[in-house]
């Protein structure tokens, strides 16, 4: 696969480490979260046949974590964002 | 002397004669020959034995789809099994051998299997070798492997190199037949970057095998002219001998280039093969088509070949399989072979055409509406038996039979993602369908354009489409455009021992049997009969099997569907997939700064991840590793030892929010750590399980140095980046790994301070008051060299870790050894390090094993309840906090000579020994020279209150009979109060 890095352009996926769903960015609020919220965050994962937002760590590159929107059936990548920037702007 | 079956003409260089051997017998051939063409020219039809029945076999094809002529090439370490004689390029001195026969190809003992064929039908192994299970490994499998084998391995390391490479292009053209060359000329003339890959050593595809004219010259000449024009274009890269083996995501193609397979040995500095990763904008698949056979009884005898392959041997290689050849066809293409044979002076015994309205001929007999029903000939066909249109029988003498059942487009690469071939009724064949790999266009015969004109036109059109070229279409050279119709004719009525898959010995009878036994899905048929599962992936056999299955089920072929192809297109050597990553180059080797010094000292090294670390330093006279390790431990505890601990991960954390960041990462508090202090920290995973431990030293208000275990350095860094970028994006904190930047040595033992005092600069005070336990700081050593000093201890002794820029590591180690002479300073390796940490009760990888919590590790109270940190919430789960939770304990054998085994299971002193009564397990064990016995660390249910209890240690996986009585003790075997640390 080729991931179009927002800063570095198209890079081979071999340079990246897959970190899992982008939902991992939504860590429960420790002050208000219930045990169920923590359980869901730690253990429950969607397994969609289709669009999936996921984190890729540019281990062999600039160490950015990217949010990649990828179709799990075709591997087509429709969007790539920097996790840090996306998160800070949210 | 010209070999018997060598004809005139052909694309071989008769000025050079090559000698080669097959099964020890010498033959000659010419450059341009394949092993198969040269053998046929020498009147050798028999080239192998079949997989299951050991039936005599010869080549069926003239290309990479070959199921039968599988041979062993070369000898010694370069011996290469399972090579197709039809693609092996001849070179002088080539030594080839047949496979799967004993004692000889002509007399093979195992051909007895053929007599028992009634028993060896589909599913024979499944049905027969079912019971008892233990017999599989010991009895059945070795026998089956011996009987049904392919080639043999040399059992020596491959002496050749294999490489990997990367190439980029706007347009990748797979296949250089008429469609591929036409596309390449169109694309090349446009100036775009083009790669043309073809598996053959001579580009041109079928043009080289046919007598058609293109633009008023021989097709092969036109192809050579096109190749010459393309070679002159700087934007076109021609890659002959290159097989595109797979279509991967986003326009990436895998291709194997055989650089030196056609040479006795690779030229100096050249690899044998290269695996290319080709990044293409667009791809044209011009892979052509494969002829399909017709099944009839005993259709597998040497000399029975595909008709167009006979034609290829005759036209391209000037080699005929026999002096008298018959043709069996259901279509016009078979007649071409007859015409070409006749033109070359080979006797055409007859053309047997299944169609009642077959075209006639003047020069030879055409039998319309006739069929081949059986053949004769022990080691090669001698007679074919016919059923004529009027129902009468007839026998024809011939040394070869060309069979044509029509053509199947080579859709292989279109299936590598989600493509599903579609049935084309007019061609009676599957053509590319479903979703093709993005960016792929299929042209020429691979897309069902079977005429030469059709191929040239579709290639040019596809290239224009792929590159978005505007303007008038280029003029195409004149070429034949015969209409192609194919009517299905898969097998001769009433046949049974008629081979569909010749490589895996699957007959019409097997397919019928599998249907009878209820295998209805095409995928089930494939697995039960093994149809199409050989190394040729059923290129010549799948279609026939599917058709028979459809007929038996009373369905149309498209309803039955087809199996799909997976990479690689043709068998690929493991060596080229590995490339240079063999032996010690399987992964990078990281050397510590003191490596060369340690080598001089005669250290024994151990691989730790990618690192090579000194394991121990044997002295003269020490014959057993334990002697060295015990000495290193005792010397360190008595005076001073030095160990290179550079491999521990070091991560620099800087920024205003660095303390807050570490406070989130570690389960224990870091916010209030004073500048100049170090703290032990435990990181949890979010699910509450311990992830890694280490220290964090605060060098300044906004600057920490974090250490990780050697094994987890990469993983912890990644985790820290995740927390920084995904969970704390607003924090002012930056990370960088400095593991390689600093050489770091542990200096441990009661004399460690005295030793360091000799090298630190005079203004640096490292007395106990000025630099107490857990202090840290930036200092200078050896006259101004910047260094970092940490007063931390893994060994349990008074100890320091000193770090200098990595390039000074070797010099610092030598200085420490020189200055330490007066204290008998002792270098120690990872074994002594491990013994001392077990003696001290420090957890390491064995304890931080991905299942243990802070509570299990005896650090339950370390998890701060007053702040949120990663994993803190889920570590409070009731399931992880039960009353009898596993707790880390120390273990000593009651009888001091007994052995403690890591991985052993703890049982109560009495009661049953079984999994249900397990009390815990041993994680680490070592001989402690300090205590004079083996000691262990382990996890024990409710271990915190069981000190003094005697348990039984069992190890059913290693030895059922051994039980050792062990006593539960504190895990801190040495200096439990920590007085030495603080001295």
Alpha carbon distance B182, B188 (integer Å): 10
Query: Is the confidence at residue B110, as pLDDT, over 80?
Result: no
Check CB contact of B865 with chain A, cutoff 8 Å: no
Same domain, B905 and B759: no
Alpha carbon distance A77, A55 (integer Å): 13
State the pLDDT at residue B139.
64
For range B575-589, the mean pLDDT: 93
- The shortest CB-CB distance from B686 to any of A25, A42, A55 is to A42
Same domain, B694 and B704: yes
- The shortest CB-CB distance from B725 to any of A28, A65, A76 is to A65
Examine the fold and report which residue of B706, B738, B770 is the final residue of a domain before the chain moves on.
B738
- The shortest CB-CB distance from A1 to any of B250, B718, B873 is to B250
The better pLDDT of the pair B685, B102 is held by B685
- The two three-digit tokens of residue B168, written as one number: 């980029």
| Mean pLDDT computed over every residue of chain A | 95
Check CB contact of A2 with chain B, cutoff 8 Å: yes
Q: For B336-374, how does the pLDDT look when each residue is reduced to its tens digit (9 = 90+)? A: 999 999 999 999 999 999 999 999 999 999 999 999 999
- The two three-digit tokens of residue B815, written as one number: 């200085």
Taking one residue from A and the other from B, the number of pairs with CB-CB distance under 8 angstroms is 64
CA distance A6 to chain B (A): 15
CA distance A22 to chain B (A): 9
Same domain, B661 and B615: no
Cis amide prior to B45 (ω within 30 degrees) = no
Check CB contact of B732 with chain A, cutoff 8 Å: no
Q: Is residue B115 part of a domain?
A: yes
CA distance B246 to chain A (A): 14
Structural domain boundaries enclosing B730: 649-738
Q: Is residue B450 part of a domain?
A: no
Looking at domain A2-89, its CATH class is alpha beta
Contact B726 A38 (CB under 8 A): no
DSSP string, B640-704: -EEEE-TTSEEEEEESTTHHHHHHHHBSS--TTPPTTBEEEEEEE-TTS-EEEEEEEEEEETTEE
Quote the number of domains for chain B.
Answer: 6
Domain ranges for chain A, please list them.
Answer: 2-89
For range B834-853, the mean pLDDT: 96
Same domain, B613 and B755: yes
State the pLDDT at residue B150.
73
Same domain, B677 and B639: no
Same domain, B640 and B660: no
Mutation target for B interface from A58, A61, A65: give the one with most B CBs within 10 A.
Answer: A65
pLDDT grade for B811, boundaries at 50, 70 and 90: very high
Stated as kind and residue range, the H or E segment containing B27 is strand B25-29
Contact A2 B874 (CB under 8 A): no
Alpha carbon distance B40, B34 (integer Å): 10
Contact A75 B877 (CB under 8 A): no
Domain harbouring B926, CATH code: 2.40.30.110
Alpha carbon distance A67, A5 (integer Å): 10
Contact B721 A63 (CB under 8 A): yes
Same domain, B298 and B392: yes
pLDDT grade for B144, boundaries at 50, 70 and 90: low
- The shortest CB-CB distance from B729 to any of A38, A42, A88 is to A88
- The two three-digit tokens of residue B52, written as one number: 């299951």
The better pLDDT of the pair B526, B928 is held by B928
For range B133-140, the mean pLDDT: 63
Examine the fold and report which residue of B405, B440, B458 is the final residue of a domain before the chain moves on.
B405
Query: Is the confidence at residue B147, as pLDDT, over 60?
Result: no
Same domain, B780 and B734: no
Which has the minimum average pLDDT: B127-136, B578-587, B903-912, B944-953? B127-136
State the pLDDT at residue B123.
66
Q: What is the ipTM of this complex?
A: 0.98
Q: For B852-874, how does the pLDDT look when each residue is reduced to its tens digit (9 = 90+)? A: 999 999 999 999 999 999 999 99
Domain harbouring B359, CATH code: 3.50.50.60
Same domain, B26 and B143: yes
**Which residues of chain A lie closer than 8 angstroms to B868, CB-CB?**
30
Q: Is residue B711 part of a domain?
A: yes
**Which residues of chain A lie closer than 8 angstroms to B714, CB-CB?**
59
Alpha carbon distance B290, B539 (integer Å): 7
The residues, ordered by sequence, that sit 6+ positions from B656 with a Cβ below 8 Å of its Cβ are B702, B732, B733
Nearest partner of B382 among B327, B302, B307, B314, judged by Cα: B302
Same domain, B70 and B95: yes
Contact B725 A64 (CB under 8 A): yes
Examine the fold and report which residue of B694, B723, B738 is the final residue of a domain before the chain moves on.
B738
State the pLDDT at residue A90.
60
State the pLDDT at residue B521.
87
Q: How far apart are the first and last CA of chain B?
A: 95
Query: Is the confidence at residue B510, as pLDDT, over 70?
Result: yes
Same domain, B520 and B612: no
Q: Is residue B789 part of a domain?
A: yes
Q: For B164-192, how does the pLDDT look when each residue is reduced to its tens digit (9 = 90+)? A: 999 999 999 999 999 999 999 999 999 99
Q: For B445-468, how does the pLDDT look when each residue is reduced to its tens digit (9 = 90+)? A: 999 999 999 999 999 999 999 999
Same domain, B52 and B40: yes
Check CB contact of A59 with chain B, cutoff 8 Å: yes
Query: Is the confidence at residue B138, as pLDDT, over 70?
Result: no
For range B802-818, the mean pLDDT: 98
Q: For B875-905, how does the pLDDT look when each residue is reduced to its tens digit (9 = 90+)? A: 999 999 998 999 999 999 999 999 999 999 9
């Amino acid at each position: 696969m080729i991931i179009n890095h927002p800063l570095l352009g198209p890079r081979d996926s071999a340079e990246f480490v897959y970190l899992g769903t982008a939902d991992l960015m939504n860590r429960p609020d420790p002050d208000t979260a219930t045990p169920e919220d923590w359980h869901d965050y730690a253990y429950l994962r969607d397994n969609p046949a289709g669009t999936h937002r996921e984190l890729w760590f540019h281990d062999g590159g600039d160490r950015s974590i990217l949010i990649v929107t990828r179709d799990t059936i075709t591997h087509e990548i429709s969007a790539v964002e920097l996790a840090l920037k996306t998160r800070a702007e949210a | 002397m010209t070999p018997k079956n060598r004809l005139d003409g052909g694309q071989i260089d008769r000025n050079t004669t090559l000698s080669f051997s097959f099964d020890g017998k010498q033959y000659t051939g010419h450059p341009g020959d394949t092993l198969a063409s040269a053998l046929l020219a020498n009147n050798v039809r028999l080239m192998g034995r079949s997989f299951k029945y050991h039936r005599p076999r010869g080549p069926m094809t003239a290309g990479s789809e070959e199921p039968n002529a599988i041979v062993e090439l070369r000898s010694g370490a370069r011996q290469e099994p399972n090579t197709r004689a039809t693609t092996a390029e001849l070179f002088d001195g080539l030594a080839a051998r047949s496979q799967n026969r004993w004692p000889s190809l002509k007399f093979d003992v195992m051909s007895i299997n053929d007599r028992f064929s009634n028993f060896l039908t589909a599913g024979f192994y499944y049905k027969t070798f079912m019971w008892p299970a233990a017999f599989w490994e010991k009895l059945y499998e070795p026998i089956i492997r011996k009987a049904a084998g392919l080639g043999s391995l040399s059992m020596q390391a491959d002496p050749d190199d294999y490489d990997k490479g990367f190439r980029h292009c706007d347009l990748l053209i797979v296949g250089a037949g008429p469609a591929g060359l036409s596309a390449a000329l169109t694309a090349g003339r446009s100036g775009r970057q083009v790669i043309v890959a073809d598996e053959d050593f001579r580009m041109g595809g079928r043009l080289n095998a046919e007598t058609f004219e293109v633009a008023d010259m021989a097709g092969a000449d036109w192809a050579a002219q096109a190749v010459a024009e393309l070679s002159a274009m700087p934007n076109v890269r021609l890659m002959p001998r290159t097989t595109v083996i797979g279509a991967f995501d986003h326009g990436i193609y895998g291709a194997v280039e055989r650089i030196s397979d056609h040479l006795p040995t690779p030229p100096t500095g050249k690899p044998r093969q290269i695996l290319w990763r080709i990044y293409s904008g667009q791809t044209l698949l011009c892979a052509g088509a494969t002829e399909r056979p017709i099944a009839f009884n005993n259709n597998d005898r040497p000399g029975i070949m595909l008709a167009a392959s006979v034609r290829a041997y005759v036209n391209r290689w000037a080699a005929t399989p026999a002096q008298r050849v018959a043709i069996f066809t259901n279509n016009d293409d078979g007649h071409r072979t007859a015409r070409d044979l006749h033109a070359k002076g080979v006797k055409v015994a007859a053309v047997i055409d299944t169609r009642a309205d077959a075209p006639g001929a003047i020069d030879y007999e055409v039998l319309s509406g006739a069929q081949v029903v059986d053949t004769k000939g022990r080691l090669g066909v001698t007679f074919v038996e016919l059923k004529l249109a009027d129902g009468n029988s007839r026998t024809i003498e011939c040394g070869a039979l060309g069979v044509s059942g029509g053509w199947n487009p080579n859709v292989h690469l279109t299936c590598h993602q989600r493509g599903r071939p579609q049935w084309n009724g007019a061609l009676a064949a599957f053509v590319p369908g479903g979703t093709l790999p993005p960016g792929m266009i299929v042209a020429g015969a691979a897309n069902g354009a079977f005429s030469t004109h059709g191929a040239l036109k579709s290639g040019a059109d596809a290239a224009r489409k792929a590159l978005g070229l505007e303007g008038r279409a280029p003029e195409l050279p004149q070429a034949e455009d015969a209409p192609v119709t194919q009517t299905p004719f898969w097998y001769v009525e009433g046949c049974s021992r008629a081979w569909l898959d010749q490589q895996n010995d699957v007959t019409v009878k097997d397919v019928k049997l599998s249907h009878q036994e209820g295998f209805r899905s095409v995928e089930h048929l494939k697995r039960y009969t093994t149809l199409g599962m050989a190394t040729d992936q059923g290129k010549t056999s799948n279609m026939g099997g599917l058709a028979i299955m459809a007929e038996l089920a009373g369905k149309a072929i498209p309803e039955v569907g087809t199996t799909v192809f997976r990479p690689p297109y043709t068998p690929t050597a493991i060596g080229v997939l590995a490339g240079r990553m063999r032996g010690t180059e399987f992964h990078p080797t990281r050397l510590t700064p003191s490596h060369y010094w340690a080598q001089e000292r005669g250290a024994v090294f151990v691989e730790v991840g990618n690192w090579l670390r000194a394991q121990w330093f044997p002295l003269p006279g020490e014959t057993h590793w334990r002697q060295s390790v015990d000495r290193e431990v005792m010397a360190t505890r008595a005076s001073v030892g030095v160990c290179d601990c550079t491999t521990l991960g070091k991560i620099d954390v800087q920024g205003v929010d660095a303390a807050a960041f570490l406070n989130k990462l570690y389960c224990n508090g870091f916010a209030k750590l004073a500048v100049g202090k170090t703290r032990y920290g435990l990181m949890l995973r979010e699910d509450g399980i311990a992830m890694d431990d280490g220290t964090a030293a605060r060098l300044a208000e906004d600057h920490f140095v974090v250490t990780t275990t050697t094994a987890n350095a990469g993983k912890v860094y990644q985790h820290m980046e995740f927390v920084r970028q995904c969970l704390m994006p607003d924090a002012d904190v930056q990370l960088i790994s400095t593991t390689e930047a600093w050489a770091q040595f542990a200096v441990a033992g009661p004399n460690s301070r005295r030793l360091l005092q000799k090298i630190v600069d005079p203004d640096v005070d490292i007395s106990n008051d000025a630099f107490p336990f857990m202090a840290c700081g930036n200092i200078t050593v050896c006259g101004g060299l910047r260094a970092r000093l940490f007063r931390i201890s893994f060994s349990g002794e008074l100890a320091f870790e000193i770090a200098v820029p990595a390039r000074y590591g070797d010099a610092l180690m030598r200085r420490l050894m020189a200055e330490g002479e007066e204290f008998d300073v002792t270098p120690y390796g990872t074994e002594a390090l491990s013994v001392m940490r077990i003696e001290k009760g420090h957890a390491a990888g064995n304890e931080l094993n991905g299942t243990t919590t802070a509570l299990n590790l005896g650090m339950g109270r370390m998890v701060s309840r007053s702040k949120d940190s990663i994993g803190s919430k889920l570590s409070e789960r009731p399931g992880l906090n039960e009353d009898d939770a596993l707790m880390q304990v120390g273990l000593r054998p009651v009888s001091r000579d007994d052995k403690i085994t890591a991985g052993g299971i703890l049982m109560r002193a009495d009661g049953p020994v079984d999994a249900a009564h397990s009390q815990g397990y041993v994680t680490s064990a070592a001989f402690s020279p300090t205590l004079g016995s083996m000691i262990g660390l382990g996890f024990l249910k409710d271990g915190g209150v069981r000190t003094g209890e005697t348990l039984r240690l069992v190890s059913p996986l290693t030895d059922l009979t051994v039980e050792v009585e062990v006593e539960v003790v504190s895990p801190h075997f040495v200096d439990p109060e920590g007085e030495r640390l603080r001295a």
